[in-house]
Structure 1
Amino acid sequence: MLDGKLYPFGEISRTENCFRCSCSRDAMRCCSLFHTPIGYDKENCKVVFNMKSCDYDVVLKSDPSKECVVYSRVG
């Protein structure tokens, strides 16, 4: 069980909350599918989570339809 949802035993390639998990009788082990941006223009850009791609988009604050350059991410 993860976040109130029951998952089957075995490998889960993607949960509803963007994690990859391995589920056995003893434990459920998960890791995130996304990487958090840390190196970008924080003054002019903002970070938005994209549930479709399971990753963060970094976009211009003044025009969210335009992406910003990301120099580094952590996972």
Structure 2
Amino acid sequence: MNALLGSLLVLATFVTVCNAQCFVIPHENIPGNLPNECKDLDGVTHPMNSKWKTKSCQECSCDQHGISCCNAVAIPADYDTTKCEKIFNEKTCSYKVVERNDPEKTCPVSGWIM
């Protein structure tokens, strides 16, 4: 019983640490029709073998399998969450971590998630 509980604790830790930041949108399969472009979730078409960055800071590409997108933003994960807060800048697609009481002062971050 202790071994099972220990295994579950380790698994829960890995699930918490693992942060899936990519996804795939497959092509619609039409028999005999090879795609020459990809259509994203907003209905925008992209040429085959092209790459682009979305408004939500994801890097995407179009290939024979469909659209692949991954998060392009490093997220601060190891900092003093009581004293500090993370702030996202949409223009630069980046976070900064600052003191809650004095946002002019940055806080040290010792771990980031991609």
The residue identity in structure 2 corresponding to 1:8 is H
What residue in structure 2 maps to residue 45 of structure 1?
A: 84
Q: Give distance in 2, aligned partners of 1:5 and 1:67.
A: 40
Distance 1:11 1:62, change over 3 A: same
Aligned residue among 90, 94, 99 for 1:55: 94
Residue 8 in 1 paired to residue 41 in 2? no
Q: CA deviation at 1:43?
A: 1.2
Please provide the CA RMSD for this pair.
Answer: 1.7
Q: Which has the larger radius of gyration?
A: 2
Q: Which ranges of structure 1 fall in alignment gaps of 5 or more residues?
A: none
Query: Any idea what the Cα deviations from partners look like across 1:9-52, whole Å, max 9, x if unmatched?
Result: 2111x211101110136411011111111111111100111112
Poorly superposed stretches of 4+, deviation over 3 Å? none
Q: Which ranges of structure 2 fall in alignment gaps of 5 or more residues?
A: 1-39
The residue identity in structure 1 corresponding to 2:74 is H
Q: Give distance in 1, aligned partners of 2:81 and 2:51.
A: 37
User: TM-score with structure 2 length normalisation?
Assistant: 0.57
Tell which has more relative contact order, 1 or 2 (C-alpha 8 A, sep 6+): 1
User: TM-score with structure 1 length normalisation?
Assistant: 0.82
Q: Give distance in 2, aligned partners of 1:27 and 1:65.
A: 44
